[in-house]
Structure 1
């Protein structure tokens, strides 16, 4: 299986609130806390990610 390629969100603050996402696997969005990458990863389908985004924006 291909490894997730995580990138830090542009909305992450310098105060330690760091979220990383990976979009390199087709039809999958992976989300994790960059401070604790071994704590687990949330995996969503692309439609679930699209449905979640409006609830995350300021």
Structure 2
């Protein structure tokens, strides 16, 4: 999966001190990218839109 044109963003809740943050790219058609903000050139996970919605909904239940 080519994520060269991905526009990565952190959560607004991420602090400026780094920590355990992820970045999400949702500007590519049909795929959502997720990567570790501390290792932007490292590996990224990709999700289809349906899988991403399920993932986010499950996390929201636990907060």
Runs of 4+ aligned residues of structure 1 deviating over 6 Å after TM superposition are: none
**TM-score normalised per structure 1:** 0.81
Q: How many residues align?
A: 58
Unaligned segments of structure 1, at least 5 residues? none
Q: Which has the higher strand share?
A: 2
- Provide TM-score, normalisation by structure 2: 0.76
Q: CA RMSD, aligned part only?
A: 1.8
Structure 2 unaligned spans of 5+ = none
CA contact (8 A) 2:18 2:38 kept: no
